[in-house]
Amino acid sequence: MTTPPIITSVFDLFKVGPGPSSSHTIGPMKAAFDFRQRLAQLPADIQQRADAIHVYLYGSLSATGKGHGTDRAVVAGLLGWQPETTNPVAMLKLLRDPEVLYSVSVGERSIDVGASQIHFERKRYDSPYANTMVLKLLSGDQVLAEEEYYSIGGGFIIRKGEPEISASAYTVPYPYRTMAELKGLLIANAISLDELLMANEMALTNRSRADVNQRIDQILDFMHKAVRRGLKQKGVLPGTIRLSRKAPILFQQAKGMSQSSDSFLIFLNAYCLAASEENAAGGIVVTAPTSGASGVIPGLTFLAKHHFHYDRATMRAGMLAAAVIGFLIKHNASISGAEMGCMGEIGSASAMGAAFLTRCAQSVSDIGPIEAAAEIGIEHHLGMTCDPIGGYVQIPCIERNAMGAVKAYNAYLLATSGAASFQKISLDAVIKVMKATGRDMSTRYKETSEAGLALSATEC
C-alpha cells in the first residue's frame, strides 16, 4: 500500500504552547479541550445526568506525566484553555493544592474536576501508541461518553475512531513522501526548494505568501522571546531536582570573553539553555519539533540573527528548510520520544537545525548540502535514549539541547565543506535506520524514566 504524501503544515510542526513537553503537556491539553468541545455537543438529557469526569493516563503519560505537568495540562484543556494563549503562570498554579476543584462546563451543568479525577495508570493498556489517555463522562458508574486519544509527539494528537485525514482532501502542487521524491520534483519542475515548500504551504493553509511569511516571523519571535527570557531568569527550576538555571551565567561569561575563540560556542550554549530552561519552567516555547527539543533551533536562529546578522528573508528560507526535514522524519519515522527515544527529539531538531544553517549560508537553495547536513545530524544521534531524571524535562534534556545545536553546527560545516556529494548515506536511508532503531529500543529507554540516567535520581 502506497503511503500518502506529506500534508503537514509548517505551523503544525512549529507550534506555540507551554512547556515542558509537547507530547505530555500540549498534546494532553489539546485532547482535553477536544473532549470538552464534544461534551458541549451531547444531547441536553445526557448532559443533565452527568456527575463526574475522569481521566486515565497510560504509558509514558502515566510514567512521567507528573514531572511533565500532564495533570495540569488536562485540567487546563477541560477548562477551555488552548496552548498558544495559555498563561504559563496561571497554569503552574493548577493543582498546586490537591484539594482544590475546578468547575468544568458540560452544557448548562458544571462538574468539578480535581487531582482525584486524574488517574496515572501503571497497568498495561492495549493501545497502538505509547502515550494514551482516556476521558470519560460518568453518571455514577455509567459511562455517558468516552474518548480515547493518543499523543504522538510534537503536540500532535489522534482520536481513536477518527478517520485519518485523506491526502486527497488536500491538493498540494508538489506531493512527495521522501527526500528522493522531493529532489525529483525540484529537477522535473525546475523549481527551487524555497518556492516548492512555499507553494505547498500556501495550498495547505490557504494563506497568502505574505501571510505565511508573517507567521514564520511570528514563530521566530516566539522562539527568541523564550531565549531572551531565559537569559534573564535566575534561580531554581520547578520540581524536586532543584536544578539551578545556567543560561544567564553562561551569557555573562560569553560577553566577557569576546576576544576568545570559545565565546562563540558559549553564546550558542547560553541561547539553547535559555530556551530549554524556559521550557522546563513551563514557559511559552515553540515545538521545534517538540518542546523537549525547543532549545536547539531557537538557539541556532538567535545566533543566526544576532551574530551572523541574516535578514528576515534568509531566516524564513532557513526555517522552511528545517521544516521539510522535520516533515520527512515525522512522516517516515517519528519525532516522539516515546517511540524513538531522544533521537526522535534532539536528533530531529539537530538535523533540522543543520538544514537551517546550511540553507541560510546559501545564496541560492541547493538541496544537496541541505540533505547532507540533515543526514549527518541524525546519524550521530542514532540510538540516543530518552531517560529524564524524575520525569522532568531537565536532566539530561536541557544540556542535551545545547549539545544537539553544537552537532547541528558541525553537521552544517561538514556538509558545506565542498564534499556534500561524497556523502554515502542518504537522508531517506538514515531515517529508515532511525525508525528501525526506535522499534528495537527497549521501552525502558523511551520516556518512561525506568532506565539510564533516570536511575541517577537518588544522587540529585
Tell me what the mean pLDDT of segment 24-45 comes to.
96
pLDDT band at residue 166, thresholds of 50, 70 and 90? low
- Distance in angstroms (rounded) separating the CA atoms of residues 433 and 338: 17
Q: Where are the domains of the chain?
A: 20-159, 171-459
**Which CA distances in Å does 86 have to 19, 22, 92, 115, 284?**
11, 14, 11, 20, 8
Q: Give the range among 35-44, 112-121, 237-246, 443-452 with minimum mean pLDDT.
A: 443-452
> Which of these ranges, 91-105, 156-170, 302-316, 381-395, has the smallest mean pLDDT?
156-170
Q: What is the pTM of this model?
A: 0.93
For the segment 65-84, the average pLDDT, to the nearest whole number, is 94
Count of positions (residues) in the chain: 460
**pLDDT given at position 269:** 98
Split at pLDDT 50, 70, 90, the class of 459 is low
Q: Please calculate the CA angle 451-292-299 and round it to the nearest 5 degrees.
A: 130
The model's pLDDT over 421-439, given as tens digits with 9 standing for 90+, comes to 788 999 999 999 999 999 9
Between residues 294 and 3, the one the model is more confident about: 294
For the beta carbon of residue 80, count every other beta carbon within 10 angstroms. Answer: 13
pLDDT band at 236 (very low <50, low <70, confident <90, very high): very high
What confidence score (pLDDT) does residue 168 get?
55
Which range among 52-61, 84-93, 276-285, 417-426 shows the weakest confidence by mean pLDDT?
417-426
Q: What percent of the chain has pLDDT over 70?
A: 98
Strand partners, 51: none
Q: Of 343-347, 364-368, 438-442, where does mean pLDDT reach its minimum?
A: 364-368
Contact 284, 226 (CB under 8 A): yes
pLDDT at 457: 66
Higher pLDDT, 63 or 206: 206
pLDDT of residue 2: 72
d(C-alpha 135, C-alpha 118), whole Å: 9
What mean pLDDT do residues 55-83 have?
Answer: 93
- Extract the C-alpha cell encoding 119: 488517574
- Predicted confidence band of residue 64 (pLDDT cuts 50, 70, 90): confident
DSSP 115: G
pLDDT at 1 over 70: no
| DSSP letter for each residue of 257-308 | TTTSTTHHHHHHHHHHHHHHHHHHTT-EEE-SS-STTTTHHHHHHHHHHHTS
22 pLDDT higher than 70: yes
Q: Which of 61-70, 148-157, 255-264 has the highest mean pLDDT?
A: 148-157
The pLDDT value recorded for residue 214 is 98
167 pLDDT band, cuts 50/70/90, is: low
The predicted pLDDT at position 196 comes to 98
User: Residue 85's pLDDT is what?
Assistant: 93
Residues 6 or more apart whose CB falls under 8 angstroms from that of 321 comprise 193, 197, 355, 356, 358, 359, 365, 370
pLDDT at site 148: 96
- Return the CATH fold of 20-159: 60s Ribosomal Protein L30; Chain: A; (3.30.1330)
At residue 259, the pLDDT reads 80
Name the DSSP class of 177.
Answer: S
338-352 pLDDT, tens digit each: 999 999 999 999 999
Average pLDDT across the chain, whole number: 94
Query: What is residue 415's predicted lDDT score, i.e. its pLDDT?
Result: 94
